[in-house]
Structure 1
Amino acid sequence: MMEQYIEIKAANPDCLLFYRMGDFYELFFEDAVDAARALGITLTKRGQHLGQAIEMCGVPVHAADDYLQKLIQLGFRVAVCEQVEDPAEAKKRGGKSVVRRDVVRLVTPGTLTEDKLLSPSQSNHLMALARIRGGEEAQFGLAWIDISTGSFRVAESRPARVLADIMRVEPSEIILADSLFEDPEAKPLIEQLGQRAVPQPQVLFDSSCAESRICRYFAVASLEGYGNFSRAELAAAAAALAYVEKTQFNERPPLEVPLREEDGASLFIDPATRANLELSRTLAGERQGSLLKAIDRTVTGGGGRKLCEWLMSPLTDPEEINSRLDAVAWLIRESRLCEDVRTALRRLADMPRALSRLAMNRGGPRDLSALRDGARAAEVVAALFAERETPELIKEALAAIAAFPDELRALLADCLSDEVPLLKREGGFVRHGHAAELDELRALRDESRRVIAGLQLSYAEDTGVRSLKIKHNNVLGYFIEVTAANAAPLQEGETARGRFIHRQTMANALRFTTTELSDLETRIANAADQALRIELGLFEDMVLCAVGAAPAIKAAAEALAVIDVYAALAVLAEEQGYARPRVDDSMAFEIVGGRHPVVEQALRRQAAQPFVANDCDLSPPGEGVTPSPATGSGAEQAGAIWLLTGPNMGGKSTFLRQNALIAIMAQMGSFVPAGAAHIGVVDRLFSRVGASDDLARGRSTFMVEMVETAAILNLATARSLVILDEIGRGTATFDGLSIAWAAVEHLHEVNRCRSLFATHFHELTALADKLDRLANVTMKVKEWKGDVVFLHEVAPGAADRSYGIQVARLAGLPEAVVTRARDVLAQLESSERDNPALTLVDDLPLFAAHLKSAQAKPSETSALPPELAARLAELHPDDLSPRQALEALYEIKRLAAGDKSG
């Protein structure tokens, strides 16, 4: 047995091997050590190998999914090894022959299908990244598959944006040619991909045979009918399919034909911007607190995945965007219908994932019931929209829903029971009355006593022997027993002797059987097995019918998910008071009363505080003018730059982010958190907010800041939206000021894009006199008795102070530090010397004032009235009763107030 294990493990060295032994998956050697540590299970020993004890641990087969989930989350890959031979066949080879086993599946992060291992509202993508050299610049091909739903997309990319394109998809696993891991040019990219990057043989990415491999998988002669794919795209798609076949072995997921995504069809958002804006995850990696979590009102898993897809890939075509907005606006007006649709959708199971499991022989009766319930929900949704004039996109979705196969719908409704078990081997999932033979076998299995009693009554009536009994024992099985006095009707005559066969004579009774009773006995004994065999046959028939109708089922499921998203966005807009944005081809960017969607909801939950709304207008002169065909990109209509100054904690970062989020929400087809919004389509969105480092790659905080800023200044176009915060603060004051100054000028003169630029370098406000499209705005504050009150309002003008010391005091810095900081600031601001800091060196130590105060004499610091001091000296607290102590306290208070009267 261990020889077999070692042989199979050698063929799968990069995976933990789950080796099936009875009701357990066993792991041995180093696999056992790693798994026991990761799963927190007991590590034992079994036998020896090469003189060393064999480490071993195991997990029950019925609970394997729970353990797989934990291992996959920790970055392991698992090879599942099952028995592929009947034990009876193994015995034919000899008494000590080992049942043949082999790997039937590789479980990797990107190839999961089980419900327990997947989040309902998150896609789980496997991505293949192929590189084709040629020309001045290498081309990258991306292909990503969600094996749990069958979706398959491809796109082309370039070195400058490939990481952004990958992060847009958020794949769980990325396969690359192993040669890339040795290529210095690809090293930075692979480092950023981290553990998700998995090397695969270069042959999988061979573009010369890629098209034939794809055609073979989909059983087509040519791909011409599916689109015009580049060499890089074909190489990536073929590699993805090869990896699916490699991990799933003989099982074949029902994948869609690859759909090509056009370059520029979605808003380009670079990885740093995605992280800074916390679109799908916070900077801590959590869903709670992200924009997706704040706007998600979907009620189905498919709707949740579709909403995430729209958020991560906002559109750039105004016509498509407005079509989505039309659908949302229509459902807002039809609020009763919207709620009825959501009620119907809540009963919708995840049809695409159920279908994938069925196609790959991992499904059960509940996956079939998911399709049946989905068909019912589809009927209800379609009926709700019947005879209504709907927007075009909803009309298209309803057409796809109506195409759900009637044959499958009828079969599932007629065949499946209302309540079905989890596993098909449990039986009982076929509806009573669907198959007469099955009903009879079930009756024999479940009601054998009643069937025997009925036969007994029949024999008693035929023979006239009322005392006739049908009994059972382990020797004879079922038999007919009559007393000796009543045996004649069963023995006399040719008919009786031919029907009743004598079995045994007892002292006072005779026992008989009949052909009918013997057949019934056999049928009762085999009824359970036969009933299950018939049910499994019907199960396979339903699976074949479902898999054959996979394209129509997926189209209907996709349409239901889209309707769920429209309804969810309508509910969100009504609930949060969002407005429909005006989206067009102009260069406008005007937000009236804009709010941060995540912060606003958090304030409501935590303190019931209102969010302070602010306007933002980055539109060029002649707002809303569509660029002429000659310019195309809108280069002549350059956007404005707002230079934002003000204190920390005043709301600058929130204001910056909220405008970027409003643009994203508008272009994904959602209403936005504002009183009104007019947005000319943004082609690229860049955000540089917050500080972070990348020490693993040798990059300091300032280096990361400069790299991200360089990407923005090099890639931003006139139609882009750029959000920058505190550029240059990570280095010396004059260096940072110089960099920020030059960056503002570059944005204004070269990029000519719509920009928000927040800074504490107040010197930059002088640029407003030089740059005609730059405007100074500031976060309003008020000072009250030395404290600062943040109003969180954006107003025209420039701040002359940053109020850093006040913020430090609010943060809890020791009072001595705050006092000393005020001292230093006053001297720095009032000094006329070239280096005012030199005059401060003589005033050290920092805590001189505090130490001087602590060392002062009591008489210098206290100055108590003589009468009070004398009275305190007379008091002995340990000798006072509670009443006396209270009276003494009143007396001390009177003396402290200067009252000398008795």
Structure 2
Amino acid sequence: MADTATPSKPASAPSPFMAQYLSIKARHADALLFFRMGDFYELFFEDAIEAAKVLDITLTSRGEYDGKPIPMAGVPYHAAEGYLARLIKAGCRVAVCEQTETPAEAKKRGSKAIVNRDIVRIVTPGTLTEDALLPARQDQALAAIALGTGGTEAAIAVCDVSTGRFDVTALAADALADSLMAYPLSELLVSDGDLDKTAVANTVALSSAPVTFRPARSANHKAGEDLLKETFNIAALEALGDFNRAELAAIGLLLDYVKLTQAGSEIRLDPPVRARSEGHLAIDPATRTSLEIDRSMRGDRNGSLLGTIDRTVTAPGARLLAARLARPSVDREEIEARLDAVSWFADDRDTVETVRSSLKAAPDLERARTRLRLGRGGPRDLVAIGRALVAAHEAASRLTALGTVLPSRISDATGALNLNKDASLAELSRDLETALSENPPTLARDGGFIAQGWDAALDEARGLRDDSRQIIAALQARYADETGISALKIKFNNVLGYFVDVPARHGDPLMKPPLSETFIHRQTLASNVRFSTQELSELAGKISRAEDEAKARELAIFDNFCERIDALNTPLSRTAAAIADLDVAAASAEWAFEADAVRPLLTDDTTFKATGLRHPVVEAALKKEGQGFTANNLDLSGEDESGTRLLLVTGPNMAGKSTYLRQAALAVILAQAGLFVPARSLTLGLADRIFSRVGASDDLARGRSTFMVEMVETA
């Protein structure tokens, strides 16, 4: 019997445009694709549906594919940062696809050629660099974890793409979670091959940050070794340190991912710093949450230890203070050096105020230099670096002018900030101050950020662009004077461009020597004769190219500054670190003034003896309500057989049990972070670990006990 069924219609081939989109999307199937089309980033298919839902934007359609309408949504490119921030917050990854040529350049390949496009960057929670997408006073940590042979050894590689910081730590596998949670995690990288390992599974379960799983081949010690050599352009690893296999595997996992997100651009991280896991006070995740070190029970800074004591005036300083509280030191020499700096400032409040007033004018040098090195910066980042260098030098000059002996940390910071000691940085600072306009645009391509008088070629191009009428009028007056023809005019049309126009009766003299050597006959009309000159032709070409030349010249100057900043990366990094160090010391003294805090006395034994100890967060909350805090003494020294090593504390709800216990732990954290402690005195033998299992839902800053919180939740 003959087949009478209607044959199915074959799917039509995608258009060249859609074929280009599908090809690029296939390379990044797990990310939303921001596909640049003119002034918009467009999203198609499932990406459009998801983005429309997250961003609450209109979902439309464009054309058909396989006989079905293609869902489409878009966002303006000039407002893309705001939309990116919302998508990242929602846990999305975004691949940014830009046009890599202009429509005019595409047409040279054929009238139907489409503009070439390619991925320039993959935006993930752990690889943000833009100010609009990042909290200025908080680090972002992209971390990778890996296990060594046998599964008992492990390593953590952590970087902050926005500042360039890169840390590597070797540790026992069962300490992974404790060490990792000390970082402000934005994204955690885990190898597929480690998912069945208990230590890794426990760490992943505890992480509140998005977890990205990567192929096992990325977490390989050989891959780590190769990527380190490639990234830092070295022939042997000895130049960076002696890394074990677990460390190299974690480094490989991290650098492979950073390289992927940079989409072909160079990785811009500072050389890795090896941190000892035993060099910091161990605080497990439950204890960290219970003590509300950097986040309150409500999940924000308000009501936390960090939010209560932070008096820093710079973004790098705020991030350094947060890092010190999150990972207090167990190195007595380091702690004493920090305390010496705070003590020196605490003895002179006038100096604290003058130094803080100078530092307050310093923008975020750390992130500005990194954005420029990554090719994501703009003129405002150049301005930020220039102003930071000036403000830092002013602070250093004020300290130097005191003529007193400075503690080692302050002395080192002052030396790093003094531009008189670094000719290259001083020259960069002067050039940035002179070259840049007061209020530059965000993007270099918008132009107008180089000040008048900095570059002669740029001034000439701008002069032609802005003063073309005056230039033509001046040339016309000169030609009229040289020829004696007062009726001579310079005019313009689309056929001849600029030309010299004279009445017909004056045409013959211009076509005879000596004037014919200058004036070239172009056209004779009934009442006029038209000429051109070599000078006028060159001027016309300059005028038509002036706008492009001005922008191109500005971009060249911008690129030159970026190259200089890249070459000065090490001293700029040192300057940023010195700004942060000085800010933290001065800010800590300022808080000590306000809180009546004292310097702890450190010992090498197991002493813990506090008099008049107070809980800094609870005391601050009570002060706002006009109430005082009842201080407590605590002695757990156990110096002899009758000494106290353990206390059993009982009492009714809201009697202060949790406060009493927590303030002891917070005193240890503050002291070993190198900060003063709210007490009349504290003598402390360094601790290596803190445990706290106080009622998990106590909300002390809001005056709620565990029992009250449980009752409210039950109700």
| Cα deviation, residue 123, structure 1 | 0.7
Quick one: structure 1 residues 664 and 183, their matched pair in 2 at CA, closer, same or farther if it must change by over 3 Å? closer
Partners of 1:51 and 1:131 in 2: how far apart?
50
Partners of 2:54 and 2:483 in 1: how far apart?
73
Q: Which residue number corresponds to residue 475 of structure 2? A: 455
The number of equivalent residue pairs is: 686
| Cα deviation, residue 295, structure 1 | 0.9
Partners of 2:558 and 2:105 in 1: how far apart?
27
Q: Among residues 27, 37, 42, which one is paired with 2:53 in the alignment?
A: 37
Question: Contact conserved, 2:173 with 2:199, CA < 8 A, in 1?
Answer: no
Identity of aligned residues (%): 45
Question: Contact conserved, 1:463 with 1:489, CA < 8 A, in 2?
Answer: no
Q: Which residue number corresponds to residue 472 of structure 1? A: 492
Question: Contact conserved, 1:140 with 1:233, CA < 8 A, in 2?
Answer: yes
Quick one: structure 1 residues 194 and 296, their matched pair in 2 at CA, closer, same or farther if it must change by over 3 Å? closer
Partners of 1:169 and 1:378 in 2: how far apart?
28
Mapping 1:24-173, distance limit 5 Å:
24-88=40-104, 90-91=106-107, 94-134=110-150, 138-173=152-187
Question: Contact conserved, 1:254 with 1:547, CA < 8 A, in 2?
Answer: no
Summarize deviations over 1:317-336 as a string: whole Å, max 9, x none. 22221211111111122322
Q: Among residues 182, 187, 191, which one is paired with 1:177 in the alignment?
A: 191
The residue type equivalent to 1:103 in the other structure is: I
Summarize deviations over 1:754-797 as a string: whole Å, max 9, x none. xxxxxxxxxxxxxxxxxxxxxxxxxxxxxxxxxxxx9x9xxxxx
Q: Does residue 610 in structure 1 map to residue 614 in structure 2?
A: no
| Cα deviation, residue 74, structure 1 | 0.9
Q: Does residue 535 in structure 1 map to residue 549 in structure 2?
A: no
Q: Among residues 659, 679, 683, which one is paired with 1:654 in the alignment?
A: 659
Mapping 1:296-307, distance limit 5 Å:
296-307=310-321
Partner of 2:333, secondary structure, is helix
Partner of 1:677, secondary structure, is strand
The residue type equivalent to 1:24 in the other structure is: F
Partners of 1:184 and 1:523 in 2: how far apart?
70
The residue type equivalent to 1:534 in the other structure is: R
Partner of 1:288, secondary structure, is coil
Partners of 1:76 and 1:436 in 2: how far apart?
47
Partners of 1:26 and 1:483 in 2: how far apart?
58
Q: Which residue number corresponds to residue 644 of structure 1? A: 649
Quick one: structure 1 residues 314 and 482, their matched pair in 2 at CA, closer, same or farther if it must change by over 3 Å? same
Q: Tell me the TM-score normalized by structure 1.
A: 0.72
Q: Which residue number corresponds to residue 574 of structure 1? A: 593
Question: Contact conserved, 1:254 with 1:550, CA < 8 A, in 2?
Answer: no
Q: Which residue number corresponds to residue 395 of structure 2? A: 381
Summarize deviations over 1:214-254 as a string: whole Å, max 9, x none. 12221112222433322211211122111111111221242
The residue type equivalent to 1:560 in the other structure is: I
Partners of 1:195 and 1:600 in 2: how far apart?
32
Q: Tell me the TM-score normalized by structure 2.
A: 0.90
Q: Among residues 359, 362, 369, which one is paired with 1:345 in the alignment?
A: 359
| Cα deviation, residue 569, structure 1 | 0.6
Partner of 1:649, secondary structure, is coil
Partners of 1:406 and 1:231 in 2: how far apart?
42
Q: Among residues 306, 315, 319, which one is paired with 1:292 in the alignment?
A: 306
The residue type equivalent to 2:560 in the other structure is: D
Q: Which residue number corresponds to residue 664 of structure 1? A: 669
The residue type equivalent to 1:612 in the other structure is: T
Question: Contact conserved, 2:598 with 2:678, CA < 8 A, in 1?
Answer: yes
Question: Contact conserved, 1:8 with 1:102, CA < 8 A, in 2?
Answer: yes
Partners of 2:209 and 2:411 in 1: how far apart?
43
Q: Does residue 598 in structure 1 map to residue 617 in structure 2?
A: yes
| Cα deviation, residue 511, structure 1 | 4.2
Partner of 2:690, secondary structure, is strand
Partner of 2:695, secondary structure, is coil
Mapping 1:184-195, distance limit 5 Å:
186-193=200-207
| Cα deviation, residue 49, structure 1 | 2.3
Quick one: structure 1 residues 122 and 185, their matched pair in 2 at CA, closer, same or farther if it must change by over 3 Å? closer
Question: Contact conserved, 2:316 with 2:580, CA < 8 A, in 1?
Answer: yes
Partners of 1:651 and 1:597 in 2: how far apart?
14
Q: Which residue number corresponds to residue 392 of structure 1? A: 408
Q: Which residue number corresponds to residue 248 of structure 2? A: 234
Partners of 1:490 and 1:363 in 2: how far apart?
59
Q: Among residues 436, 445, 448, which one is paired with 1:428 in the alignment?
A: 448
Unaligned runs of 5+ in 2: 1-16
Partner of 1:203, secondary structure, is helix
- Range with greater deviation from structure 2 (575-584 or 464-473): 464-473
Summarize deviations over 1:571-607 as a string: whole Å, max 9, x none. 11112221111122132212211211112112222x2
Q: Among residues 549, 555, 576, which one is paired with 1:557 in the alignment?
A: 576
Partners of 1:185 and 1:155 in 2: how far apart?
16
Question: Contact conserved, 1:587 with 1:638, CA < 8 A, in 2?
Answer: no
Quick one: structure 1 residues 638 and 2, their matched pair in 2 at CA, closer, same or farther if it must change by over 3 Å? farther
Quick one: structure 1 residues 152 and 685, their matched pair in 2 at CA, closer, same or farther if it must change by over 3 Å? same
Q: Which residue number corresponds to residue 563 of structure 2? A: 544
| Cα deviation, residue 648, structure 1 | 0.5
Q: Which residue number corresponds to residue 719 of structure 1? A: none
Q: Among residues 195, 205, 211, which one is paired with 2:219 in the alignment?
A: 205
Partners of 1:318 and 1:472 in 2: how far apart?
80
Question: Contact conserved, 2:290 with 2:696, CA < 8 A, in 1?
Answer: no
Q: Which residue number corresponds to residue 418 of structure 1? A: 438
Summarize deviations over 1:84-130 as a string: whole Å, max 9, x none. 34545544555444333222211111111111111111111110100
Q: Does residue 675 in structure 1 map to residue 680 in structure 2?
A: yes
The residue type equivalent to 1:583 in the other structure is: L
Partners of 1:512 and 1:570 in 2: how far apart?
78
Q: Which residue number corresponds to residue 265 of structure 1? A: 279
Partner of 1:679, secondary structure, is strand
Q: Which residue number corresponds to residue 2 of structure 1? A: 18
Quick one: structure 1 residues 539 and 235, their matched pair in 2 at CA, closer, same or farther if it must change by over 3 Å? same
Summarize deviations over 1:429-453 as a string: whole Å, max 9, x none. 2222222121111111111222222
| Cα deviation, residue 151, structure 1 | 0.4
Question: Contact conserved, 1:587 with 1:637, CA < 8 A, in 2?
Answer: no
Partners of 1:269 and 1:602 in 2: how far apart?
25
Quick one: structure 1 residues 462 and 91, their matched pair in 2 at CA, closer, same or farther if it must change by over 3 Å? closer
Q: Which residue number corresponds to residue 7 of structure 2? A: none
Question: Contact conserved, 1:104 with 1:249, CA < 8 A, in 2?
Answer: yes
Quick one: structure 1 residues 662 and 190, their matched pair in 2 at CA, closer, same or farther if it must change by over 3 Å? same
Q: Does residue 221 in structure 1 map to residue 221 in structure 2?
A: no
Partners of 2:384 and 2:83 in 1: how far apart?
25
Quick one: structure 1 residues 184 and 315, their matched pair in 2 at CA, closer, same or farther if it must change by over 3 Å? closer
| Cα deviation, residue 358, structure 1 | 1.4
Partners of 1:67 and 1:299 in 2: how far apart?
29
| Cα deviation, residue 190, structure 1 | 2.2
How big is the alpha-carbon RMSD for the aligned residues of Structure 1 and Structure 2? 2.7
Partners of 2:239 and 2:417 in 1: how far apart?
24
Question: Contact conserved, 2:635 with 2:644, CA < 8 A, in 1?
Answer: no
Quick one: structure 1 residues 201 and 297, their matched pair in 2 at CA, closer, same or farther if it must change by over 3 Å? same
Look at both structures and tell me which one has the larger radius of gyration over its CA atoms: 1
Summarize deviations over 1:520-560 as a string: whole Å, max 9, x none. 12211111111111111111111111111111111111111
Partner of 1:418, secondary structure, is coil
